[in-house]
Amino acid sequence: MRELFNKYPVGSYYVITMIMSLILILPHMIFTRIGDYSFSFTQLGPSLALLIYVYITKQKDILEKIKNNMITCKSLILYPIILVSFFIVMWLCNVILSLYGIPYKPWNGSIMFYILNILSMIICCAGEEFGWRGFLLPLLNKKYSLFTSSVILGVMWGIWHLNLSSVLGFFMYVLYITELSIIMAWIYSKTNADLKLMILIHFSFNFFSHVFTWQRFVAPLFVIEAIVFGIIAGVIVLFNLKRFFSSEISE
């Protein structure tokens, strides 16, 4: 088993992640109301898969690197910028979606409702990011350029969500997730692997998606997000060609 994991680390990790995430659907059948507070057991799948991967391969240094990338503060100035940026981007998507004929629906709740949702989102986003950006992106980047690594990760990340609402919705969803992956990989590289910032980006996207596009998670929204994030990702790549197409990122 260890030889297989060492020979095919990306594929092995991804298969375990898919299996663990599918298994973690079961608790939602028992705790049916937990989703009302944005807690998703399946989002813990990438982290649990990482623990299994480390246990099988005995590569404990992986967890040490992730810990180091969590405890260092390398880019605090970017934290408020990220929050404001995603507020603006998701507000813009909301405006375009409303003009398209799908009106805004408020995400209503009490103060405690919002507090619990925020805490749940942070925990669940961390559950994903320890695996996706903490482990898989650096692993891919050992073999491929940052651009290729971010695209591969984005496609895998998008498919992992299993958003099968429609054929168009699925492809547009995977597309904009891949574009978001490119943006996040660039920031990850620029900040020398600030994993907390990746969690904040993931949280900001999820939170402001709830605020501005609640109950409108449909194909037209995914098309709009693919266009908006595609423009942002395209500009970033265009002005950072050397970073995207050179070798390994900093860890």
| Residue 3, in any domain of the structure | no
pLDDT in the model for residue 247: 63
pLDDT in the model for residue 221: 96
- The residues near 190 (Cβ < 8 Å, ≥ 6 apart) are 75, 243
Statement: residue 78 has pLDDT above 70: yes
Domain interval for residue 239: 74-245
| Residue 133, in any domain of the structure | yes
| Residue 33, in any domain of the structure | no
Average pLDDT of the residues in 221-228: 97
CB–CB of 182/231 below 8 Å? Answer: no
Taking the CA atoms of 93, 119, 199 and 127 in sequence, report the sign of the dihedral they define. negative
| Residue 199, in any domain of the structure | yes
| Residue 13, in any domain of the structure | no
CB–CB of 185/146 below 8 Å? Answer: yes
pLDDT in the model for residue 249: 53
| Residue 196, in any domain of the structure | yes
| Residue 31, in any domain of the structure | no
Statement: residue 251 has pLDDT above 60: no
Dump pLDDT digits (tens) for 105-127. 999 999 999 999 999 999 999 99
Average pLDDT of the residues in 146-154: 98
| Residue 38, in any domain of the structure | no
Average pLDDT of the residues in 22-49: 95
Dump pLDDT digits (tens) for 160-207. 998 877 888 999 999 999 999 999 999 999 999 999 999 999 999 999
> What total number of domains does the chain contain?
1
The residue that leads in pLDDT, 97 or 75, is 97
Dump pLDDT digits (tens) for 181-194. 999 999 999 999 99
Average pLDDT of the residues in 233-238: 98
pTM score: 0.95
Task: Give the CA angle between residues 224, 124, 48 to the nearest 5°.
Answer: 120
pLDDT in the model for residue 119: 98
Average pLDDT of the residues in 213-218: 94
Residue type, 240: N
